[in-house]
Amino acid sequence: MTHKRGNGAGTARKRGTTWTAIWTIGTVLEDDKVRQIRRTKGGFRTKTEALAFAAQPTSDSNGQAPSLYSYWETWKNNELPKLGKSKQTAYKIAKAKMEAIMFRPIDKLTIKELQAEVDIKAATYYTAKDCKTRLSHLYRMGIAEEWIHTNLADFINLPPLDEKELQPFSEIELHKLWDIYGKGEYFVGFILLMIYTGMMPGELFQLKKDMINWDTYEIKGCGLKTKKRKETPIVFSEVIAPLLLDLCQQSQSRVGNVLCMNRDKFYTKYHDTLKLAGVRDLPPYSCRHTTATALALGNIAPSVIQEVMRHTKFSTTQRYIHPDMASAHHAINSLDKGKATK
């Protein structure tokens, strides 16, 4: 005999003379099919007690600490919506990667178990960092409720950051990119646009023709992630204006998009174009690192660089500047096509 709650908050099944609470704690994707993960707890004297527990199974009657999943549900509903969409997605991915330990009581986990799970499921620096940060949020909640006394997530060691991700394109590489653009390689214009504006790939996907103000050399409306980037216009120079106009004129989008391809095709074309130009296969974010580095080496004031990059804090901007590398040696606005193609 099984009784279900009308709102789907759990079920109760009678087994012998007692009732067992059954509830869903999450879902996983296996072989392209969604499978529910369920937990049970028996020994309830009445159906009402079992259903009540299934509706809110934060801890058992013996004083067992809540699971990481229980705290995640609270944090997801209260704090996650306050973050940007990209960060929300990153934390949801991190949560999915920690699935194996999510349903363990928070006071039963060890540093060794947390580290092992991160090592297995999050091999790259930024993914591991998201996992560590998300776990830290949950541990702080457990500390606040006095189930635990130490944030074990603080002891998780992250894998080394791939230095390749931090490198800007060099001045010679800029020459090569301009060179193949001048020879009719249309797509490289998108790469140069990101380099000369600090635009992120996600912003390029959202860029529409009517967002461009040709009189003020500003782009408004495609900023992503933070309030600062959404509100601050992307500025472009007179040097890059003809290239941007060319990209707009070649676009066949019915809704006004400047870039007319999906993400997979874009990233494939991006790496193929770098290979064609004979430059290093750096990730798209290296374009943004090149922007900041070029401005810094051009003796542009830090506050101005911060504004161009649309960062809330200059400490963030500093992570994009690599003055010790042979990258661009002039400010973005001083890099004209004549110098770039020599």
Q: What is the per-residue pLDDT across 31-46, written as a single tens digit (0 to 9) for each?
A: 566 667 777 777 777 8
Looking at the fold, whether 44 and 151 belong to one and the same domain comes out as: no
Please tell me the total count of domains within the chain: 3
What separation in angstroms does the CA of 49 have from each of 12, 37, 235, 259? 9, 22, 62, 58
Do 94 and 188 reside in the same domain of the chain?
Answer: no
Boundaries of domain holding 331: 164-340
Instruction: Examine the domain organization and report whether 157 and 168 are in the same domain.
Output: no
In a domain, 61, yes or no: no
Amino acid symbol at 213: N
Tell me which residue of 226, 223, 204, 229 sits closest to 84, measured CA to CA. 226
The CATH number given to whatever domain includes residue 84 is 1.10.150.130
**Distances from the Cα of 326 to the Cα of 107, 111, 169, 172, angstroms:** 50, 41, 8, 9
At residue 204, the pLDDT reads 94
For 284-308, b/e burial (b = at least 16 CB within 10 A) is: bebbbbbbbbbbbbbebeeeebbbb
State whether 85 and 45 are in the same domain: no
112 burial type by CB count under 10 A (0-12 exposed, 13-18 middle, 19+ buried): exposed
Q: In angstroms, what is the C-alpha Rg of the chain?
A: 26
Tens digits of per-residue pLDDT, 260-319?
A: 998 889 989 999 999 999 999 888 888 988 888 877 766 667 777 788 788 777 777 777
Asked if 194 and 53 touch (Cβ cutoff 8 Å), the reply is: no
Residue 289 resides in a domain: yes
Say how far apart CA 159 and CA 139 lie, in whole Å.
21
At 162 the pLDDT is 65
Q: Do 50 and 20 touch, CB atoms closer than 8 A?
A: yes
In this structure, the answer to whether residues 271 and 151 fall within a common structural domain is no
Same-domain status, 209 and 313:
yes
Domain end marker among 111, 144, 161: 161
Query: Within a domain: residue 263?
Result: yes
* 63 belongs to a structural domain: no
Verify that 146 and 283 share a domain, yes or no: no
- Residues with Cβ < 8 Å from 216, sequence gap 6 or more? 233
pLDDT of residue 151: 94
Residue 335 placed within a domain = yes
Same domain, 91 and 175: no
- DSSP secondary structure string for all residues of 113-140: HHHHHHHHH--SHHHHHHHHHHHHHHHH
Give average pLDDT by consecutive 10-residue segment, the chain, 342 residues.
Answer: 52 82 69 68 78 68 75 87 78 85 88 93 85 93 90 92 71 92 94 92 93 94 85 90 94 92 89 94 88 76 78 74 47 48 42
Do residues 125 and 158 touch, judged by C-beta distance below 8 A?
yes
Is there a single domain that holds both residue 180 and residue 305? yes
Same domain, 41 and 186: no
**298 and 171, same domain (yes or no):** yes
| Residue 59 DSSP one-character state | S
* CA proximity to 140, closest of 130, 154, 126: 154
pLDDT for the residue 259:
94
- pLDDT in the model for residue 87: 76
The verdict on 313 and 172 lying in the same domain is: yes
